Structure 1
């Protein structure tokens, strides 16, 4: 009898070892996916059993009961996180558990480029992969109201940067992040402003920075360009900057700026109106924000493109005209940039 019980015990032990070895082998085997990539959505509050069910529902060829048991046996079943995941071919039950425990959600990225206007921002959002287009169909006014800024113009309110987001995130959420980032960058720049500026507020600094962003061809010229505009504002001289005119033309701009455009009045035509335009004209980056409030110590009032991306600066109209003759001989509109 004693030998009988010993035999039963040994058989049970061998079966457990075999099952354990089989389980150890299984958790390291790739799961069969219906496609190279499979989306897996785990809603908040989903139980471990529900997660196993969600994996099977996503098309993964797996025994959901076995997968659930693996979650339980691992001791990490309560550590799995909700989120949007992307499973790739080669994922094993062990790797799947690690992904869920670490919350390694599938992410995408979107680049908002320095100098873009709001039309370009919204076009990029509309094309962004796996980003819910909740802003589509909203006017600019309705968009800002949705973002908690009713009555504020959207131009220049979003900081240009690379933003990562989880699959299924909304474009509104991404814009909120970009808006908060611009708020912080602008606040920091305004706090670091130099003395004797003609700017009266952070809002004016943002507007000027947006112009500096559009006018700068080479980074080394940025502070000097900012100085030209600050100097003009200080003495009440028109800014006479082409990018503001182009912005005021909106979609009517065909790539060519003509004399009649400079003579057509809009709120943004700085040839026709003194001072800053009513809104920013683009998204300025950090360098442009700082240049606007920390301009170079310069008496320059004019600049003209040398044709290689850099600018020639002058403090008198005579010097400027000589620079125009040298660098823009035979040119038209470009020679008038911040020139008269």
Structure 2
């Protein structure tokens, strides 16, 4: 190292100042470097998933699971949106009011998927209920239906256990791969039910989305055709939103009014209080449920788990034996 101070590192030598200071500091740094290399192993850096307290959710250790990258997740959401607008929306509109709720439940899942940047979702029914403005019991009923009619887009992979919710995976089925690639992605982001539409209704939210994310400014006839909603309902939603300044006409076409603030409108309509009350109620219910579950956690000592008179290695009975014994 000292030889290189006059070779390829002359600037480093100048930083030490005098020759006496240079010899002293180099010896100290060399001792520190030797001590560092003799440590048992490199120290792991604290990542963003490090536990900050004992209530942090457990993270998968990886193993054979290859998690998709952030760009891959966003591309997947974009492709799934194409499938939603081209296929699933038209299929679900035939299910009436339930179909309308299913359409927004899928939108909420895609929005949550983009926000969390993961294709494995363990979001609870109460969180989804607040997102779509429904009761959590309704969400619990709709999720299995959506998994069944989504043609492989939504698949349940694990049941709820203790405080953890059901686990679902969202994927692009093989039969839609080509379709998703052929269609261009939509502008903007997908949303569930924004608070203002708690007053204007699900149909209004769907009409607003069709204008907001349309490839071009649609006419009333195009909105009726694309949304699958009756003419009278669409015209009523358009009139209400135009009256609030959310949208405006440009000839025969409808456009979003860029100066409209949906949150301010929600406060004006008095639905922000309802939205906040919905979230607060869910927090209280979740806390009460977790407290109830914690009552049944049995605290065991290590001595209670080991019996010297019992064989340590044993094979658990299979499911069939357990069923017969019951």
Rg larger for: 1
Relative to the length of structure 1, the TM-score reads 0.20
TM-score, scaled relative to structure 2: 0.21
More helix by share: 2
